[in-house]
Amino acid sequence: MPEANVRHRPAVAMALSLLFAGLGQLYNRRYVKGILFIIIEAAFLMTFYNFLNIGLWGLVTLGEIPMLDHSIFLLIQGLVSVIIIVFAAALHIANIIDARNDARRRQRGEPFPSLWESCRNAWDKGFPYIFVTPGLVMLLFIVVLPLLFMVSLAFTDYNLYHSPPRHLLNWVGFENFKNLVSIPIWKSTFFSVLAWTIVWTVVATTMQIALGLFLALLVNDPRIKFKRFIRTVLILPWAVPAFVTILVFAAMFNDKFGAINREVLSLFGVSVPWMTDPFWTKVALILIQTWLGFPFVFALFTGVLQSISRDWYEAADIDGATRWQKFRSITLPHVLYATAPLLIMQYAGNFNNFNIIYLFNDGGPAVRGQNAGGTDILISWVYDLTFTTNNYNMAAAISLIIGLIVSGFAIYQFRRTRSFKEEGNI
């Protein structure tokens, strides 16, 4: 049993631990622990020193000799190094805190738990965290690393004329973002594209949700027969891969040769320029997206509708509520409460719905004096600008902006939906 020792200073233990893991523990006379920590830190440094050295050097310089240094590899190695260092720093801080706690105990003369005891203690308390950790590490490399890479590219000059291995990349700071709002070829089109992107997102998604909800309510009505059959039919559009559907529709909407003008509208003596007039192309796109998107919403609502208790409607019937009142006060809040997060994802998905725009008409038809096509949304416009011109830096910069818009919107909405509040706080 150690005695109280007022001359033992926690600050010294912390300083020593900061210098090298385990030294503080040695000062605390916890020799086994201290030596263990020293071995771990030494092993870490020996294993990773070279990797981290090159990684950090590469992150700062992005390489010095063309053809020998590859900026992209160096950038990724640098980001990995940063992640490893953050991990190591967290462990190092834990080591310092441990040294301080032990030093205080020694100061007060409290007994120490044995190494074995403290291990068991940590296992008991930290059990969930220990099992979450491997997943977290995976997540870090699968999700966070590519994101960091993309964000980093937005601040480099990575384009066709600065492509490794022949050329090295350079950090250019915010120049890409400055160019975006100052170079006419990008600036002039940005706002018209953004406006259509918003209209497209709101109108197409709302229509698909409204149609899905309407059909789900109809099919859920007890008086409807052959429910299974009807449901199967309504889910069918979902069963065909979207890109096949879109390509088939693109052929059907052709102004002159498509089935819609030729077989359907010709009955009324009308011919609509679906592919050549921007307005009608937009209408066609919204119609197709409604058709593609409603089955999912329909399936979702059908499921949720089953879970609404019959008692509520019976109670409402006794109170003499009308059909509309029952819908307004029972069905709608219930359904929206349960599905809001998924519906928000639908909006976010359509904001970036590259497939349909690209496959239907490739953002066309062309509009004179405008760089983007008449129906290009932000993401398809970026695709065009970057993959025809190989401006990876600009792609990263614009993607960053799109990402900020979408995530800002999503976070705001998530925080306001009840689904994400704790239960009982409704």
Partner 1 sequence: MRKALSLFLMAVLLIGVLGACGPKRDVQQPKGNDQKTAEQDKKPEKLVVWVNDDEKQKQALKDIFQKYTEKTGIKIEMVAVSMLDQTKKLALDGPAGKGPDVFYQPHDRIGDIVLQGLADPVDLGDAKGEYSPTAINAVTYDGKTYGVPMVVETYGVFYNKNLVPEAPKTMDDLMKIAKEKTNAAKDQYGFLMEATNFYFVYPFFAGYGGYVFKNENGKYDTSDIGLANDGAVKGAELVQSWFKNGYIPKEITGDIMNGLFTKGNVAVAITGPWNIASYKEALGDKLATAPLPVLDNGEHPKSFVGVKTWMLSAYSQNKEWAVDFMKFVTNEENSLHYYEVAGEMPANQKALTNEKITNDPLIAGFAEQIQYGEPMPNVPEMSQVWEPMGNALQFIAKGDNPKAVLGEAVKTIQDKIAASGAGK
Considering only residues 160-189, where is the footprint of partner 1 by CB under 8 A?
160-167, 179, 183-186
Interaction of residue 369 with partner 1, rule CB under 8 A: yes
Minimum separation from the CB atom of position 229 to partner 1 (A) = 35
Radius of gyration of the chain (CA): 31
371 binds partner 1 (CB under 8 A): yes
How far, in Å, CA of 298 to CA of 332, rounded? Answer: 14
In the shown chain, the binding pattern of residues 116 to 145 toward partner 1, with x for contact by CB under 8 A and - for none, equals: ------------------------------
Interface with partner 1, residue 254, by CB under 8 A: yes
Closest CB to partner 1 among residues 367, 405? 367
Q: How far is CA 271 from the centre of its chain?
A: 42
Tell me if 114 sits within 8 A of 31, measured CB to CB.
Answer: no
Residue 388 touching partner 1 (CB under 8 A): yes
Instruction: Give the residue, chosen from 154, 219, 275, 338, that forms a contact with partner 1 under the rule CB under 8 A.
Output: 275
342 vs 366 by CB, closer to partner 1? 366
Cβ distance to partner 1 smaller for residue 234 or 396? 396
Environment class of residue 214 by beta-carbon count within 10 Å: exposed (0-12), middle (13-18) or buried (19+)? middle
Contact predicate 38/17, CB 8 Å: no
Query: Which of 368, 422, 424, 426: binder of partner 1 (CB under 8 A)?
Result: 368
Give backbone dihedrals phi and psi of 277, rounded to 5 degrees, phi first.
-110, 125
The mark string for 1-30 relative to partner 1 (x by CB under 8 A, - otherwise) is: -----------------x------------
User: Which residue matches tokens 């771990």?
Assistant: 40
- For residues 75 and 422, give the distance between their C-alpha atoms in angstroms, rounded to a whole number: 41
Q: Which is nearer to partner 1, 220 or 276 (CB)?
A: 276
Cβ at position 102, least distance to partner 1 in Å: 17
Judged by DSSP in three states, 58 sits in: helix
- The stretches of 62-170 forming alpha helices (DSSP H) are 71-108, 115-139, 145-153
Q: Collapsing DSSP states into helix, strand and coil, what is residue 196? A: helix
| H helix intervals, 240-366 | 242-252, 259, 278-306, 310-318, 323-326, 332-351, 354-361
Interface with partner 1 by CB under 8 A: which residues? Answer: 18, 52-54, 56-57, 59-61, 64, 66-68, 70, 73, 85, 89, 93, 157, 159-167, 179, 183-186, 251, 254-257, 275-276, 364-366, 368-369, 371, 373, 384, 388-391
